[in-house]
Amino acid sequence: MKKLFTVLVFSTLLLAACSNHSNSTDVSENDTQQQSDKSRKDQNVQKKHEKVIKNGCTYIDNILIVNKEVSLPSNFNPGENPESQQALQKMFNQAHKENLNLYKISGFRNYQTQVQLYNQYATRDGKKAADKYSARPGNSEHQTGLTYDVGAVGSDKNLYKSFGDTKEGKWIAKNAHKFGFIVRYPKGKEKITGYQYEPWHLRYLGKQTATKVYDSDQALEEYVGLK
């Protein structure tokens, strides 16, 4: 559905561009044409995304973007974000009230740590395999300080896809956005995100944006118009 919409918007852009060159012809259709041009323009305004690059970091609609194509500079070293840390704790507290014991497996990782991790994985499994589950240095979302891998205390499903089938994994899928997080690499979006399904990898966006992304059923790349 969303894809169809994007296609429509894109093709109207093409149409709008064409109509500028054919002013002298379609006179009879002029009124209708102007009308639909206006509504097309309104749609385009709504779908427009603002991209800003600041000190080597890419922000789209004020969301810091890190993925396989968009990287962070090696000196970007913000540490753990206090707001997301607090939100994570709130989420754990709520889960605890519902008899689910979640904990943080990992959070902020600096560039150098990612260099070591990636090299270790690539040596063990080869680069091609490592790229499916690990980020190259500069391309890890953990370097933002806004990202966490979470697990269930004592579970043997932690950091496996099957974590998504546990009651803790299901609870996260359903509730994380209420605390400002999204499951960053959803099932079925592997080709868009470039990562396998990771029901444990959460990215903090704030409640409002996380809820919008959750409701959109899109991966973050789609939501900000990258894919």
Tell me the C-alpha to C-alpha distance, in Å, between residue 65 and each of 2, 51, 123, 146.
Answer: 21, 10, 28, 11
- Of 40, 189, 201, 203, the one binding Zn ion (CB under 5 A) is 201
Q: Find the part of the chain contacting Zn ion (CB under 5 A) among 41-49, 127-135, 145-153, 170-178.
A: 145-153
Q: Which is nearer to Zn ion, 60 or 146 (CB)?
A: 146
Q: How far is the CB of 50 from Zn ion (least distance, A)?
A: 27
Q: How far is the CB of 158 from Zn ion (least distance, A)?
A: 12
Q: Which residues contact 157 (CB under 8 A, 6 or more apart)?
A: 163, 165, 166, 169
Q: Is 189 in the site for Zn ion (CB under 5 A)?
A: no
E strands of 83-219, at which residues?
102-106, 147-152, 181-185, 198-204
Q: Find the part of the chain contacting Zn ion (CB under 5 A) among 25-33, 37-45, 146-154, 163-171.
A: 146-154
Distance CA 100, CA 102 (A): 6
Nearest to 164 by CA among 131, 200, 196: 200
Q: Which is nearer to Zn ion, 19 or 176 (CB)?
A: 176
Backbone angles phi, psi at 68, to 5 degrees: -70, -25
Q: Is 203 in the site for Zn ion (CB under 5 A)?
A: no
Distance CA 50, CA 52 (A): 7
163 contacts 103 by C-beta, under 8 angstroms: no
Total residues contacting Zn ion by CB under 5 A comes to 2
Q: Find the part of the chain contacting Zn ion (CB under 5 A) among 13-21, 57-65, 107-115, 193-201.
A: 193-201
Q: How far is the CB of 25 from Zn ion (least distance, A)?
A: 56
202 contacts 150 by C-beta, under 8 angstroms: yes
Q: How far is the CB of 2 from Zn ion (least distance, A)?
A: 25
Q: How far is the CB of 142 from Zn ion (least distance, A)?
A: 6
Determine the residue with CB nearest Zn ion: 201
* Secondary structure element (H or E) that encloses residue 52, with its range: strand 51-54
What residues does 149 pair with on adjacent strands? 106, 201
Q: Which is nearer to Zn ion, 33 or 106 (CB)?
A: 106
- Of 37, 125, 149, 190, the one binding Zn ion (CB under 5 A) is 149
Q: Which is nearer to Zn ion, 151 or 223 (CB)?
A: 151
List residues binding Zn ion (CB under 5 A).
149, 201
